[in-house]
Chain A
Amino acid sequence: MATATAVLQSEWTKIRTVSSTVWTLASALLVTVAMGAALSALLSSEFDNLSEAERLTFDPTLVSFSGTVLGQLAMVVFGVLVVGTEYSSGMIRTSLAAVPQRATFLFSKIAVAGVLALLVGLLTSFLSFFLGQALLGDHGTTIGAENVLRAVVGGGLYMGLIAVFSMGVTAMLRSSMLSLGILVPFFFLVSQILAAVPKAKEVARYFPDQAGSKIMQVVPGALDSEKVPYGPWGGLGIMLLWVAAALLGGYLVLRKRDA
């Protein structure tokens, strides 16, 4: 019986020995930080041109996380590739021949990749926050302010969970291409667009990214956005349910389907 530690160690070797790990995680970090910084600088200079409502609900923490919308896509790619390359390369058969316990295999892989994504996510979110606040200047906030630390840590959690969600979906779909083709447009377009459409947004607010990203808000209804019937932790909870569902689905598919 391949022990969990052995599988974890093996999965870590797998992750660190492919270059896609480095470039997806690095671009997640760079894109998020850079875009957050750019928007922080922009809003800092344009602050006086904002509407009354927007100024009243100005959320400097959330502004510094503006890059997440784009940066999360790199996290999606990371999550998809970690699981998907097993299928596209055929490595899955070698892996499962070595680890017949499929639950051990899948969850070890996701644990290793998830923790790595979480660490990169936390680093990203702290970097984004401090850089963003520095650029916001007078309009910025500090880490010690109320709820700000929760939002910054939450930003890291959000990035990690997006990656884990993608891994679960890929385990269900068993294909990198298919998963990317569904997840990227979903997070980048469908979810964003539906969230702005009346009626549809009542549903869209329960999508994993819409719900989970509320953890990054310090001011409820920040920047004159829609009020939601759940709090920041409630939103993260909704996202966790999505992640759990994706993982369960991925596990069931792996257990049932032939490799």
Chain B
Amino acid sequence: MTAISREEVAHLAHLARINIADDQLEHFAKQLDAILDAVAQVSQVDTADVPAMSHPIPMTNVFREDIPVASLAPGAALAGAPAVEDSRFRVPRILDEE
């Protein structure tokens, strides 16, 4: 009934920044469709006047004293980085060529 299309899967994959090969789109579309069919029963529940619950405990701001504590040394913070240059994370280019 939901019938999610190949194009929608491609769009979702783009939003999620995951490269999905063209020949995989159909496969994921079928699986997402089956899952959405199974979870679509939520629409049958009468929730008029029911508040939404995002979290199991009532959340309020949590404050602590503003006291400096030791943080990670730059070497430790960078130790797991895929690429490092001049004690900084080296990233792929972030601007288009034009």
**Pair from one complex:** no
Interface residues in chain A, defined as those with a beta carbon under 8 Å from any beta carbon in chain B: none
Residues of B within 8 A of A (CB): none
